[in-house]
């Protein structure tokens, strides 16, 4: 089965076109070699691809006939992505939420002063320690 169809069938990408674009950008490798969208995959192949700022590593266990349900995906692949990668993604999400909540609009003058003061405090603290 083609790599683009396989990654679409096991639900890592929403469309085959998205997989094709990832392959063209050299984000997908099979057994350590950069893969074109037409690259054939076989059981025991190791696929590495970058998606959502995580380098995913999966091993092909079996080839599906066509797109499978989310509950059946584990029959066709083994996820070998380290847990630290998922923890890093969670930290990224939390750091984005920490700065400013979505939907609160533009910063007010008071918010802007607080932001500017925060930037100046870190600089003065660093200067005092020297």
Distance, CA of 1 to CA of 41 (rounded, Å)? 6
pLDDT value, residue 54: 85
What's phi and psi for 99, nearest 5 deg?
-65, -55
> What tens digit of pLDDT does each residue of 35-92 get?
998 999 999 999 999 888 888 899 999 999 889 898 998 999 998 888 888 888 888 7
Sheet strand arrangement including 77-79: 33-34, 28-30, 46-51, 54-60, 77-79
Q: How do strand 33-34 and strand 46-51 relate by DSSP bridges?
A: unpaired
pLDDT value, residue 102: 63
**Assigned CATH for 3-83:** 3.10.290.10
- Mean pLDDT within 104-129: 70
pLDDT value, residue 115: 78
With vertex at residue 64, the alpha carbon angle to CA 62 and CA 66, rounded to the nearest 5 degrees, is 170
Q: Where are the domains of the chain?
A: 3-83, 100-129
State the SS3 of 73-109: HHHCEEECCCHHHHHHHHHHHHHHHHHCCCCCCCCCH
């Amino acid at each position: 089965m083609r790599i683009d169809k396989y990654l679409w069938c096991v639900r890592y990408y929403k469309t085959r076109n998205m997989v094709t674009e990832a392959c063209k950008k050299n984000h997908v490798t099979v057994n350590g070699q950069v893969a074109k969208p037409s690259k054939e995959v076989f059981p025991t192949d190791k696929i590495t691809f970058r998606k959502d700022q995580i380098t995913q590593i999966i091993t092909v266990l079996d080839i599906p006939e066509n797109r499978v349900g989310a509950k059946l995906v584990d029959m066709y692949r083994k996820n070998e992505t380290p847990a630290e990668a998922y923890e890093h993604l969670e930290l990224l999400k939390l750091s984005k939420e920490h700065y400013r909540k979505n939907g609160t609009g533009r910063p007010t003058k008071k918010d802007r002063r607080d932001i500017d003061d925060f930037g100046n405090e870190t600089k003065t603290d660093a200067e005092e320690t020297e």
